[in-house]
Structure 1
Amino acid sequence: MQIFAASYLLPISAPPLAGGALAIDNGRIVDTGTLAELRAAHKAPVHEFPGCVIMPGLVNAHTHLELTHFPSWKIRKDIDYAPRTYVDWVIQVIKIRRNLTPQELELSVHEGFRISLESGTTALGEILSDRALLPLYAASPFSGRLFLEAIGHDPVQCSLLLARIGESLEAFPCGNLLPGLSPHAPHTLSSAFLQDIKRLADKKSLPIAIHLAESREESAFLHDTSGKIAELLYPFVHWEAYLPPPRRTTPTAYLDDLGALDSATMAVHCVHVTGADAEILKKRGVSVVLCPRSNEKLDVGKAPAYLLKKAGIPLALGTDSLASNDSLSMWDEMRFLRREFPGVFTPAEVLAMATLEGARALRVESDTGSLEKGKRGDFLVVKPSAPASPTDLPEALIEESQLEEVFIGGNPLEYRLR
């Protein structure tokens, strides 16, 4: 057993505790309280961090670490151009992805691990398209969810992919990461395949992550099968035969009609949702992951954050990938969220979105996201640039602080943070 103490303990699930500490044994939190209380209750070595805050490791609820090396791949694969629209960007990603070797993907994932850990992320909501990479994740220190991705329209290919995903789930043991399924988006799966994935998820009691209402093009396609998805994307991937008739609906209503939305669903982006869509999401118990920097970089619009919050929809935060973002830092994401939506979220709410709310969206809140007895001993030591009161502490941590150390299971990372 070891005791870790700082000027403040910020559990997220409870107010900041001055002079707080936590005791960790066998990788799990066994006690929290003031340092004096823990010293009286436990005979264990004490590690003190004066002037610092101990807080939970960050939860990045939406990532694609396979794409970490995307910026360099664009240059090396001679596909380095600036996409003009969301669909142009999707096609660029597909072109690059088709030309990658297994080794390039492995190196990219490892770099994603390193970057994420260095910035204090200890839990992921990771989307995985290449199941051959599963062993890498099994050996990683992260907790969270690994969502196996499904895309396709051809019935034969979809049937084969469904069987392979099922086989991967049977042999899943993947370290501390739990499984999930990710039907990619409403426009990239046939309705039958999407329902098959949902049935498999229900059978295995697994959550689903799906990109929802990310772009104007998606909304246009779901409404009347028009726009660049129909004109460019479907021909590029040879899906012309699977163009649906106009549905006259929204992406959210479409998924609801298919029975794909419930409390086990995590919807990512939700940029183009209406008031009626928000009511559906709330009624079905869906969690939403906001990725504001990715949305800004791809010029797809801004999520109606105030509408979603007012509707009472649980909100988490994710960086997405380096194909559509400049960093994998949740600190950068939190700061951008505050500037993009001034006055919508308090600093404490933003910190919760990057920790406990992310864990809840991933359905791993019993294991991580806050500093409570029984949870993993994953925590950060963060030093504000100046002393702060308990009330001002969340803002000080987000805006002006230095990440000093990252601990996973009570053990410090073995590489330098700076």
Structure 2
Amino acid sequence: MILTARLVLPISGPPLVDGGLLIRDGAICAVGQASALIRDFPTEPHDDLGSVALLPGLVNAHTHLELTGLHGRLPFGRSFTEWVTALLDLRSELDAECFATSARLGATVLLRSGVTCVADITTSGSSVVPLKAAGLRGIIFQEILGLDPEQATERLDAAEKALRSLQLQASGSLLSVGLSPHAPYSLSEPLLLRCAELLQRRRLPVTMHLAESPEEVTYIGLGLGPIATTLLPAVGRHSPSHRVCGESPVAFLDRAGLLSERLLAVHLVHVGISDLQLLRQRAVALAVCPRSNHNLGVGIAPLPRFLAASLRVGLGTDSLASNDTLSLWDEMRFAHRLYGGAVTAQQFVTMATLGGAAALGMAEAIGSLAPGKRADLIALAIDHLDDADPYGSLLSQASDDSVVLSMVEGKMLYQREGVTGCNRQSH
């Protein structure tokens, strides 16, 4: 099949006006000018998508889909620790049906917004079924928490059991499974060490919230602050369950053996020069969530430094417990304004596609439109597409409603009702 469009954005190469793709068996076989593809492959069915932009599917590098139903139930403007404590209280009131309903809604929103791959963290395990049913690609991370050192073995055993369940549910899909120790402040040091041993033994992908707030930095380094005085008592503890050595959260995780090329570290708002050096040395991947950080008042991640250091950086929306939408278009627009000229529109679109794929360890398969890549792609209807600045056009105009189709493995997963201008031609 040949797909042609007004504009093709391969990401890994220059934009193609009146371009196209040749897709066979779920893979991209050729990329080039539409006229050349039609001439060189005259027997291939041809879909002219009309005046749209064709680009790789978006990669949402950090979500909690099971929390989608919490939209608007946790007002922003509290301190980070107050927000976390309120979230824990609210989660305790939810049952399996609430989590499942939230995950189904979240998966539907992602698909219709142009996301074809997602890194999702789950405690309940509820996101596997809807993501599998939708046909999306991604990694489902089983979350693990526990501040009582005496319960470290019990917590890890429960997480391993949950991982086996996730793997069974994900079989026959494009979803893989990993582990998510929640954050340095929410696991005891013995449990973190056991997680590191498990991850080394099983070679699983791993993701963690890391260096998200000033409170986290104070607690890990000094054992003090609101996490010590508010969050710990809320979960039945009255003293830190890690050795307090004046370390940063990044250095603490390194000592625990958790920094590696398989780690997707999320947020990274509060990192110093030595932290950045550690992240580079260990080849850690990052997911930044600018709107969530803004809503929770924790600060601004040093994204220009991450990009200058050539780290693998993806973009995430986080959950609707800390964000307004699951739209990566909204995320890119907000972040572009936030960082101004320090990060370009092209860099943000790259972060939301190839950057996210690289952060998830999938850059060889997805994230750009190139021969040999899997055919995960989307088409966007944009009213005023500027050939001289196509990335700027996307950031200024694109929205979830702009997405007219989404494909994964060359299969149509979503096509907007009432779309015109897609003319199928056979030669």
TM-score by length of 2: 0.90
Residues 106, 133 of structure 1: 8 Å contact kept: yes
Q: Distance in 1 between matches of 2:103 and 2:418?
A: 19
Q: Which amino acid aligns with 1:5?
A: T
Q: Distance in 2 between matches of 1:387 and 1:132?
A: 39
Residue number among 346, 362, 385 corresponding to 1:348 in the alignment: 346
Post-superposition shift, 1:170? 5.5
Is 1:396 aligned to 2:393, yes or no? Answer: yes
Q: Distance in 1 between matches of 2:111 and 2:128?
A: 19
Q: Distance in 1 between matches of 2:418 and 2:110?
A: 11
Q: Distance in 1 between matches of 2:341 and 2:126?
A: 44
Residue number among 136, 140, 147 corresponding to 1:142 in the alignment: 136
Residue number among 181, 191, 194 corresponding to 1:193 in the alignment: 191
Q: Distance in 1 between matches of 2:237 and 2:338?
A: 37
**Aligned counterparts, 1:119-268, within 5 A:** 119-131=113-125, 133-153=127-147, 154-168=151-165, 171=168, 173-174=170-171, 175-240=173-238, 243-268=241-266
Q: Distance in 2 between matches of 1:32 and 1:88?
A: 51
Q: Which amino acid aligns with 1:54?
A: L
Post-superposition shift, 1:164? 1.4
Unaligned regions of 5+ residues in structure 2, if any?
420-427
**Which SS does the other structure have where 1:68 is aligned?**
helix
**Aligned counterparts, 1:23-62, within 5 A:** 23-42=22-41, 43-62=43-62
Is 1:4 aligned to 2:26, yes or no? Answer: no
Residue number among 346, 354, 357 corresponding to 2:355 in the alignment: 357
**Aligned counterparts, 1:37-116, within 5 A:** 37-42=36-41, 43-71=43-71, 74=73, 84-116=78-110
Shift of the 267–246 alpha-carbon distance from structure 1 to 2, 3 Å rule, reads same
Q: Which amino acid aligns with 2:332?
A: M
Shift of the 331–205 alpha-carbon distance from structure 1 to 2, 3 Å rule, reads same
Residues 3, 44 of structure 1: 8 Å contact kept: yes
Q: Distance in 2 between matches of 1:84 and 1:397?
A: 33
Measured against aligned partners, the alpha-carbon deviations of 1:311-370 in whole angstroms (never above 9, x if no partner) come to 332221110010000000000111111111111112211111000010010011222211
Residues 224, 245 of structure 1: 8 Å contact kept: no
Measured against aligned partners, the alpha-carbon deviations of 1:196-249 in whole angstroms (never above 9, x if no partner) come to 222322323222111110011100001111111111111111233654453211
Is 1:117 aligned to 2:111, yes or no? Answer: yes
Tell me which moved more, 38-47 or 256-265. 38-47
Post-superposition shift, 1:17? 1.4
Q: Distance in 2 between matches of 1:378 and 1:159?
A: 35
Residues 293, 319 of structure 1: 8 Å contact kept: yes
**Aligned counterparts, 1:274-293, within 5 A:** 274-293=272-291
Post-superposition shift, 1:18? 1.9
Post-superposition shift, 1:169? 6.0
Post-superposition shift, 1:25? 2.7
Residues 184, 210 of structure 2: 8 Å contact kept: yes
Shift of the 52–97 alpha-carbon distance from structure 1 to 2, 3 Å rule, reads same
Post-superposition shift, 1:377? 2.0
Residues 83, 92 of structure 1: 8 Å contact kept: no
Q: Distance in 2 between matches of 1:395 and 1:184?
A: 35
Shift of the 405–192 alpha-carbon distance from structure 1 to 2, 3 Å rule, reads same
Shift of the 312–364 alpha-carbon distance from structure 1 to 2, 3 Å rule, reads closer
Q: Distance in 2 between matches of 1:412 and 1:136?
A: 13
Q: CA RMSD in A?
A: 2.1
Q: Distance in 2 between matches of 1:105 and 1:364?
A: 28
Shift of the 161–417 alpha-carbon distance from structure 1 to 2, 3 Å rule, reads farther
**Which SS does the other structure have where 1:342 is aligned?**
helix
Q: Distance in 2 between matches of 1:292 and 1:326?
A: 12
Shift of the 298–363 alpha-carbon distance from structure 1 to 2, 3 Å rule, reads same
Tell me which moved more, 162-171 or 177-186. 162-171
Shift of the 82–58 alpha-carbon distance from structure 1 to 2, 3 Å rule, reads closer
Residue number among 373, 380, 384 corresponding to 1:375 in the alignment: 373
Q: Which amino acid aligns with 1:38?
A: L
Residues 208, 265 of structure 1: 8 Å contact kept: yes
**Which SS does the other structure have where 2:301 is aligned?**
coil
**Which SS does the other structure have where 1:182 is aligned?**
strand
Post-superposition shift, 1:83? 5.8
Post-superposition shift, 1:415? 5.4
Tell me which moved more, 18-27 or 176-185. 18-27
Post-superposition shift, 1:132? 5.3
TM-score by length of 1: 0.92
Q: Which amino acid aligns with 2:414?
A: L
Measured against aligned partners, the alpha-carbon deviations of 1:170-214 in whole angstroms (never above 9, x if no partner) come to 635341112222111111112222222223223232221111100
Residues 153, 191 of structure 2: 8 Å contact kept: no
Tell me which moved more, 326-335 or 134-143. 134-143
